[in-house]
Amino acid sequence: MTQFSTLLSIGTALTLGLAGAALAQAPKDDLVRCQALYGQWLKYNGTSSYSKNVGPEMALEQCRRGDTTAAIASLKNTLQRSRIPLPATETASTK
């Protein structure tokens, strides 16, 4: 029984190690996506003096903290509400 537990522990550790390696790459890609979405917003609306929209800045900071899923959704929503086209990388991945 102890050999089985040891093998199970080793198998779990290997699985988590491989999953961790795969997940370690995803946030970097997501951070790049966040920056592209934020850059698009900044290009079209970031210098507007009529109203200061802090949502995109907060979403970018959220990305930097690692909560990329919610931040990307927020940035996409902000762009779509403002009728700003999504960056080319976004439109290519959604086709």
What does the pLDDT look like over 57-77, one tens digit per residue? 999 999 999 999 999 999 999
pLDDT at 92: 54
Asked, for residue 48, whether it belongs to a domain, the answer is yes
Do 40 and 59 meet the contact criterion of CB atoms below 8 Å apart? no
pLDDT of residue 25: 44
**Assigned domain for 20 exists:** no
* Count of structural domains, the chain: 1
Q: Is residue 85 part of a domain?
A: yes
Residue 79: inside a domain: yes
Average pLDDT, the chain: 73
Could you tell me the pTM of the whole model?
0.61
Domain limits at 82?
A: 26-94
In a domain, 11, yes or no: no
- Mapped onto helix, strand or coil, the DSSP state of residue 59 is helix
**Model confidence band, residue 33 (pLDDT cutoffs 50, 70, 90):** very high
Domain membership of residue 18 (yes or no) is no
Whether 44 is covered by a domain: the verdict is yes
